[in-house]
A and B are shown apart, each in its own frame.
Chain A
Amino acid sequence: MANGESEVGADPAGGFVQLLTPDGERVDSVTTAEGVTYSVSFTDEEYRGLYQDLVTVRRLDAEATALQRQGELGIWASLLGQEAAQVGSGRALRPQDMAFPTYREHGVLYTRGIDPIMPFGLFRGVDQGGWDANEFKFNPYTIVIGAQTLHATGYAMGITMDGKTGAGDGEAVIAYFGDGATSQGEVNEAFVWSGVFHAPIVFFCQNNQYAISEPLERQTRIPLYRRANGFGFPGVRIDGNDVLATYAVTRTALDNARQGQGPTLIEAYTYRMGAHTSSDDPTRYRIASEVESWKAKDPISRLKTFLVKQEIAGEEFFGQVDEDARTLALSLRERVLAMPDPQPVTMFDNVYPHGSPLLDAQRAEFSRYHASFEGSAH
């Protein structure tokens, strides 16, 4: 391989911010080479809350995967393995912050307090998303890779233009994307613009090692977080399977942004344990031992080990969390199955705010055509 000397494949141990080891050991604080110190101070209740979040989003994800396998969803993009990156960053957001997700941020969505059923219309095929970004501070899922990073940048520019930065109660934006997206021109344009306009934005890259089948080496010759240097803002790599480090670094980056200190790129080093989507077959491009090695770095088991060792939670709590997650998942299942198919004529709705005579004519023709079958055996 021409890129044999690349640092990308190197073990990132020591090369990322980690506050909770895979063995469940707490690291008090980490100081980066740039001299920035990261730590968290959570109450026992907050630790238990993070654990509950992680278990819940994994359980809901499993239910969605099952629904897809049973033919009830057209497709599902699983977050399995990336729970800590999503819960940690999502919980780091303040209420006034705006998130621009890809199509996999179900965990972030959950931490925003949004009903987890919201994206299921998209995956079941009854709509294309259908929610209001401003109502939920969570933009509709964007499927074209990287396109949302520019939307996030523009929104962040708007925050500055509105004078909503420079204080602790200022607003900030988080833009989610993956390792594959970093090759997109639009993502690089988003970096340029955010740097130039000093926009209050955090670029949160979940490096899950694969863009469908293509490994990270096909996207980059340097660690992704170091790309930020070239655009003039800081880049930080975190253990994306560590919910504590993810929270600490994302919270700091968002607060820096809202206080007018400009963008940060966070590379959350993680692993997609499942397929890219339910249409994918990862056995064609990666070996089982690699997946096994990442199981040892599981985001949930390390937090559980920590909670047990510190006597923050016991079997009763864990059992209750599992039971609550199961109840939520089954309720979600029932509600997904009850989702009505849209009336076909509604496909003509919401193309233009001010409508169009062309669509009016086609809608009328569509209705006339279908009405012509009424009462027939067709």
Chain B
Amino acid sequence: MTETLTLGKALNHGLRRALESDSKVVIMGEDVGKLGGVFRITDGLQKDFGDNRVIDTPLAEAGIVGTAVGLAIRGYRPVCEIQFDGFVFPAYNQIVGQVAKMFYRSLGKQRLPIVIRIPYGGGIGAVEHHSESPEAYFAHTPGLKVVTCSNPADAHVMIQQAIASDDPIIFFEPKRRYWEKGEVDLELPLDRAYPLHASRVAREGTDATLIAYGPMVRVALDAAAAAEEDGRSLEVIDLRTLSPLDLDPVYASVRKTGRAVMVHEAPSNIGLGAEVAARVTEECFYSLEAPVLRVTGYDIPYPAARVEEEYLPDLDRVLDAVDRAFGW
């Protein structure tokens, strides 16, 4: 059954299916119960599954993740909600020191099937700490897997796949896309779904490759549509998985186009773009007509809302980079 849903509703439905399919799945976080989360992603779930399955927690992020570790040792599959990107840092010790390392520490005897959902990115006119893109911190950490969805169909299936996985997964949700609509197959079986840790060509093209993920996929697609009017055919790749990266589709694309532009909201310094650029350069060196260019947030703390549109990569900055790649 296919329905048109917002990305937020798609996540909500995916969480509902996960709660239905495995009684060990529990959702825990601040305001996830009666309120349904500040973005309403868990709306109605506590009412239908009870407060033992959808747990309003004390206001303590280290506690959310740390107790999730204990619940996982007990056999549960916790899905933690961190309310905003900039609030994850009190839990950083537990995520990086414990969640990421327990399987290794125990020589593979203790799995921690924990999903940590984090709404991330800017563009919603928020105050400090509510618009950050901290994905590189987690992608840099061995033992964690990191994914992000860009559209409602992916959101619906990826959250279910992440919960079904025994790997600890940081699940980044593009909060400014929560209200974007798309077609969602509500009954798609997970074993027939596109794999979780695989990137995907979001739009085919021949002249240059745009690489993006999460909230920037929409920007890249808009840029490709605009470029088409100028006679340029841009391929867009949605990375979807940030750790491990799945770059084979990127290599194939760059070998075809010879030019690549990486787009993300996070600052550029030591970001995902740097890793992608290094690996594309190594794998596609003789195909490249220009260096891999990056269009990113600037290397500043996330700025005040009145200037965030100048901070965030947009269609014009992406096309400007494409122009530079062609002018090299």
Contacts and interface: CB of A to CB of B under 8 A. Distances in A.
Nearest to B246: A357
Contacts of B58: 189, 192-193, 196
B136 interface: no
B147 interface: no
A154 B109 contact: no
Given A186-B66, A192-B60, A154 B108 contact: no
A349 interface: yes
B62 A186 contact: yes
Contact of A158 (B66, B70, B98, B106): B70
B103 A186 contact: no
Interface stretch (B72-80, B207-215, B249-257, B305-313): B72-80
Contacts of B243: 358
B106 A154 contact: no
Given A144-B93, A151-B98, A354-B166, A130 B107 contact: yes
B105 A130 contact: yes
A77 interface: no
A154 B93 contact: no
A312 interface: no
A109 to B, nearest CB: 15
The binding surface of chain A is classed by DSSP as helix
A124 B219 CA distance: 53
A127 interface: yes
The residue in B58, B66, B67, B109 that gathers the most chain A C-beta atoms within 10 A of its C-beta is B67
A159 interface: yes
B73 A352 contact: no
B71 A158 contact: yes
B63 A150 contact: yes
Interface string A338-350: 0000000000011
B85 to A, nearest CB: 20
B142 A154 contact: no
A153 B110 contact: no
Contacts of A189: 58, 60, 62-63, 66
B43 to A, nearest CB: 23
A245 interface: no
A368 to B, nearest CB: 16
Nearest to B196: A354
A129 B145 CA distance: 23
The binding surface of chain B is classed by DSSP as mixed
Nearest to A135: B109
Contacts of B26: 161
A228 to B, nearest CB: 17
Contacts of A128: 101, 104-105, 107
Contacts of A139: 73
Contacts of B76: 158, 161
Nearest to A171: B74
Contacts of A351: 103-104, 142-143
A156 interface: yes
A129 B106 contact: yes
The bracket for how many chain A residues form the interface is 35 or more
Contact of B71 (A130, A142, A149, A155): A155
The residue in B71, B97, B106 that gathers the most chain A C-beta atoms within 10 A of its C-beta is B106
B110 A150 contact: no
A4 B265 CA distance: 53
Nearest to A352: B167
Interface string A127-141: 111111111000110
Contacts of B66: 147, 149-151, 153-154, 186, 189-190
Contacts of A229: none
Contact of B244 (A130, A158, A350, A356): A356
A151 B143 contact: no
Interface string B50-91: 001000011010110111111111111010000000000010
Contacts of B166: 353-354
Interface string B85-124: 0000010011001100111111111110000000000000
Contacts of A356: 145, 244
A290 interface: no
A155 B145 CA distance: 23
Given A154-B66, A159-B74, A186-B93, A193 B60 contact: yes
A150 B94 contact: yes
A95 interface: no
A130 B70 CA distance: 17
B73 A350 contact: no
Contact of B109 (A130, A149, A162): A130
Contacts of B74: 154-155, 158-159, 162
A168 interface: no
A350 B107 contact: yes
B281 interface: no
Interface string B24-54: 0010000000000000000000000000100
Contacts of A147: 66, 93-94, 97-98
Contacts of A358: 243-245
A150 B106 contact: no
A193 B94 CA distance: 16
Contacts of A135: 109
Nearest to B142: A351
A12 interface: no
B7 to A, nearest CB: 26
A158 B75 contact: yes
A350 B108 contact: yes
B165 interface: yes
B103 A140 contact: no
Contacts of A192: 58, 60, 63
Interface string A353-369: 11011110000000000
Contact of A352 (B69, B75, B145, B246): B145
Contacts of A134: 73, 110
B88 to A, nearest CB: 15
15 contacts: A129-B105, A131-B106, A132-B106, A140-B110, A149-B66, A150-B69, A154-B74, A155-B70, A155-B73, A190-B63, A192-B58, A350-B107, A351-B142, A352-B167, A358-B244
Given A144-B93, A158-B76, A192-B58, 18 more contacts: A128-B104, A129-B106, A129-B107, A132-B106, A139-B73, A140-B105, A150-B63, A150-B67, A151-B69, A154-B68, A154-B74, A158-B71, A162-B74, A185-B90, A186-B66, A193-B60, A193-B63, A350-B106
